[in-house]
Amino acid sequence: MPRLALLLTTLIWGATFPATKAALGQIPPLSFLLLRFFIGTLLIFLWFVVGRRRLHHDRAVLVAAAVSTVFLFLGYLLQTVGLAYTTASNSAFLTALYVIFVPLILLRVDRRVILATVIAVVGLWLLVKPNASMSRGDLMTLGCAVAFAGHIICLERFTRQVDASSLLAWQMVAMTVLFLPAPWWEDAPGSAFLPTPVLLTALVVTGVLATLAFAVQIWAQQLVPAQQVALLFASEPAYAAWLSWYFLGETLDVQGWVGSALILLAVIIGALAG
């Protein structure tokens, strides 16, 4: 059940790429992240109030949230800014390289993980065909993959040590606070915040749906090893490429469909790993 839940959340993660790419035509990246995490924070605290859940604020929870947020902040910062300089498909591919980074960092490598990782990387490459010469957006996104790998590893450890719901809430609060100076820093005009259909859709996808997906991830990582989480998330760029093709007109040819199939095969192999 946790693995199935994680696989379904990747559809939402995949949708955030074209949604964010479209929104960046109106609003600067850091200002968009502020709105995204502000909405997510409100949603999480509404969940606490309605569910009458206790928000823990002991030292262990706050330290875990602080450490996790460092990686989460760097990941979203590099990914969103990088999206302004590369395609949504390339961003999805490079972000998904945490499929390799997580097991390598944790030194959890067996034959099935190696096989799934190789198939996933080949599939990802066929899917989006990144250019041999990387743009600065691609380089930023590569850095975000390392940061997200660190965040997945943090969640595996901390969700088993502290209250997972409180860990989620404090991360959302910290992300909102960190991006508070964004409109001033970017000198964003008032027109950037107009509630256009594109911006509202992007905020629903990233601020509401992605927050729910984040909550599912934190719950599932109490039960699923980090390297399997990374492999399950390898299907994210497949969703991103399909949605980018449909909504943004980014191309998806026969080679892309073959790559998508390989990614799904790698996900199945990785999910069945011990």
- Domain membership flag for residue 37: yes
- Domain membership flag for residue 126: no
- Domain membership flag for residue 271: no
Domain containing 178 equals 2-107+134-225
DSSP 134: P
Asked whether the beta carbons of 235 and 7 are under 8 A apart, the reply is yes
- Domain membership flag for residue 235: no
Asked whether the beta carbons of 12 and 21 are under 8 A apart, the reply is no
Residue-wise pLDDT tens digits, 176-213: 999 999 999 989 888 899 999 999 999 999 999 999 98
- Domain membership flag for residue 43: yes
DSSP 21: H
For the chain, how many structural domains are there in total? 1
- Domain membership flag for residue 230: no
CA angle 230, 208, 52 (to 5 degrees): 100
Whether the model pTM is above 0.85: no
- Domain membership flag for residue 268: no
Residue 126 dihedral angles phi and psi, to the nearest 5°: -65, -35
- Domain membership flag for residue 8: yes
Residue-wise pLDDT tens digits, 31-81: 999 999 999 999 999 999 998 889 999 999 999 999 999 999 999 999 999
Q: Output the CA torsion sign for 186, 24, 13, 166.
A: positive
